[in-house]
Each structure stands twice: as structure tokens, then as C-alpha cells.
């Protein structure tokens, strides 16, 4: 039974540019923070630095909005160029109102504005740019895990987290959008409760709980702490992905 958990935000992560090596940057930060890395440790990495390293920038001046984007921009009072990018990154629009467009994006997430972001990005007013989610966060996590495993000669987990709102709660929280080598969904159906009754529907979103815990240290503003090392969890499960956390449409009452 888990009774002790350690979360350590790595100081000294530099501003990330396209083609930067996230594993090598993490390696330097681990050394500079005088830490060790062992089997079962998990690195939680902010989506934003993954997207920056993968050059997922789009300049709004390069976008020509369609009639659909213009129509939706009038309804939501958003820049039609941004709306076009949201549509390009999505399978369908789920809900919309002034200021927000909730979509099912190409990754499968139900996300406000397709997860597209413009905060903490060096951008010019004359040609603003936005940052998209990684094309496939699970694959991004796997590549980083494989590199870190070689660096440290052990097996670590990698979770890529992002901030997301929830249908029935105020406030955003960290969620896992990419994962490799870490348990993301713990199925307790069939296990007994304290009184011996079998659990019938209980599944624990471990990946989201890890992502949310790490996001407390990462912060949402100018903290500059996009990587958190977690020790003591030892929940390695290499076959699971963050996509395992996405509810099937026929079980989703909000779609």
C-alpha cells in the first residue's frame, strides 16, 4: 500500500525552442538539481514544452478562414483565423458560446478550443502565433521514455499533462494527454470494499491524478517549472496509454 509519495519540480529548465531535445534537457536538470533517477520513477512533462520542441506553432497571418470559421467566429466572438485553426485540429464541434469552442479534437480529447494556447509564447501583435497540441502525445511520451531509459539504464514512466476544464466542476485541472510506461487507468471492478462487497463500476484515473498533482508544482503562470519527477509511486505499466482515459462516445453523456 502506498504511504509516501515525492514530487520534485526540476529547477533550471530553459525556454524551449523547436528541435530542442527534451530528454537531454531533463538529464541536465536532474544533474543540476542533484537528483537520482531509478526504476519506477515518473516524469510528468508539461504539454507546452513538448509542443514547442515539436514546432507546433501556427501564425495567424498564414490562415485564411473559411465561411464556417467566419460564421462560428461571429457566434463566439473569436478571431476567425483562430477559429479556423480550431476547426482544422478537430473532428467536430461539441458545444460553443461566446469565448469558447468545445470540440472533439483529432487526438480524441474533448477540449476547449482544441487545446490551442497562446499563453507563455513569444508572439508579436503584428503576426500573432498560437501553439497546438502534439500530433500524437502518446507517441511523444514513448519517444521521451525510450530516450530516458537509455540515459538512466532503467525503466521510467512519462506522462504529458495539460490543463483542462471539466463538465461538472469549476476550474481547470491537470490531465494526462500522453503517457508511456505508466499506469493510467486502474480497474478495480471485482475488488472488495471494506465490507466485502464487490466493486461494480470503480475505475481510477491514475494518469489524471498524477498529472493533476504535478500541475500544482508546475503552476499556470510564470513559474517556469514544466517538469516534475515523481518518486515512490512505482506504477509502471508499459502497455497503457493516455488514450485509455478517454470515455467511449456511447458512454459519454455530454456528447
| In a shared domain, residues 88 and 51 | no
| Number of folded domains that form the chain | 2
Q: Is 235 a domain residue?
A: yes
Q: What is the pLDDT of residue 187?
A: 61
Provide the pLDDT for residue 252.
Answer: 74
- Look at residue 1 and tell me if it is in a domain: no
Rounded mean pLDDT of 230-245?
A: 77
Give the domain CATH number at 27. Answer: 3.30.1330.100
Mean pLDDT of 108-132: 87
- Domain range for 93: 57-131
Q: What is the pLDDT of residue 63?
A: 96
- Residue 214 has a pLDDT of 96
In a domain, 236, yes or no: yes
For residues 152-159, give the mean pLDDT.
95
Question: Which of 107, 131, 155 lies at the terminal end of a domain, its last residue?
Answer: 131
- pTM to 2 decimals? 0.90
174 found inside a domain: yes
Domain boundary among 100, 131, 162: 131
Q: Say yes or no: 65 and 144 in one domain.
A: no
The DSSP string of the chain is -----EEEEPTTPPPP-TT--HHHHHHHHHHHTT----TT-EEEEEHHHHHHHTT-EEEGGG----HHHHHHHHHHT--HHHHHHHHHTEEEEEEEETTEEEEEETTS-EEEGGG-B-TT---BTTB-EEEPPPS-HHHHHHHHHHHHHHHHTS--EEEEEEEEEETTEEEEEEEEEEEESS---EE-TT-B-TTSPBPSS-EE-HHHHHHHHHHHHH-SSS----EEEEES-----TT--GGGGSPPGGG-TT-
Given this model, what pLDDT does residue 237 score? 64
* Model confidence pLDDT, tens digit, residues 43-90: 999 999 999 999 999 999 999 999 999 999 999 999 999 999 999 999
Average pLDDT over residues 158-170: 89
Same-domain status, 169 and 229: yes
CATH number of the domain bearing residue 83: 3.90.1660.10
Residue 207 lies in a domain: yes
Amino acid at each position: 500500500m502506498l504511504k509516501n509519495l515525492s514530487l520534485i519540480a526540476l529547477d533550471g529548465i530553459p525556454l524551449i525552442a523547436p528541435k530542442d531535445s527534451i530528454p537531454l534537457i531533463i538529464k541536465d536538470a536532474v544533474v543540476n538539481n542533484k537528483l537520482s533517477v531509478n526504476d519506477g520513477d515518473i516524469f510528468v512533462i508539461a504539454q507546452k514544452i513538448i509542443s514547442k520542441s515539436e514546432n507546433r506553432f501556427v501564425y495567424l497571418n498564414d490562415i485564411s478562414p473559411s465561411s464556417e470559421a467566419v460564421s462560428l467566429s461571429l457566434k463566439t466572438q473569436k478571431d476567425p483565423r483562430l477559429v479556423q485553426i480550431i476547426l482544422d485540429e478537430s473532428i467536430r464541434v461539441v458545444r460553443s458560446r461566446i469565448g469558447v469552442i468545445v470540440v472533439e479534437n483529432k487526438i480524441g480529447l474533448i477540449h476547449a478550443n482544441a487545446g490551442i494556447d497562446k499563453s507563455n509564447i513569444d508572439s508579436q501583435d503584428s503576426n500573432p502565433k498560437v501553439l497546438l497540441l502534439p500530433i500524437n502525445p502518446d507517441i511523444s511520451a514513448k519517444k521521451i521514455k525510450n530516450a530516458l531509459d537509455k540515459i538512466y539504464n532503467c525503466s521510467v514512466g512519462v506522462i504529458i499533462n495539460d490543463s483542462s476544464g471539466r463538465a461538472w466542476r469549476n476550474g481547470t485541472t491537470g490531465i494526462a494527454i500522453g503517457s508511456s510506461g505508466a499506469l493510467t487507468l486502474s480497474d478495480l471492478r471485482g475488488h472488495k470494499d471494506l465490507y466485502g462487497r464487490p466493486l461494480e463500476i470503480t475505475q481510477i484515473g491514475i494518469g489524471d491524478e498524477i498529472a493533476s498533482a504535478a500541475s500544482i508544482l508546475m503552476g499556470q503562470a510564470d513559474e517556469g517549472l514544466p517538469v516534475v519527477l515523481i518518486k515512490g509511486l512505482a506504477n509502471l505499466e508499459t502497455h497503457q496509454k493516455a488514450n485509455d482515459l478517454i470515455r467511449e462516445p456511447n458512454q459519454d453523456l455530454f456528447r
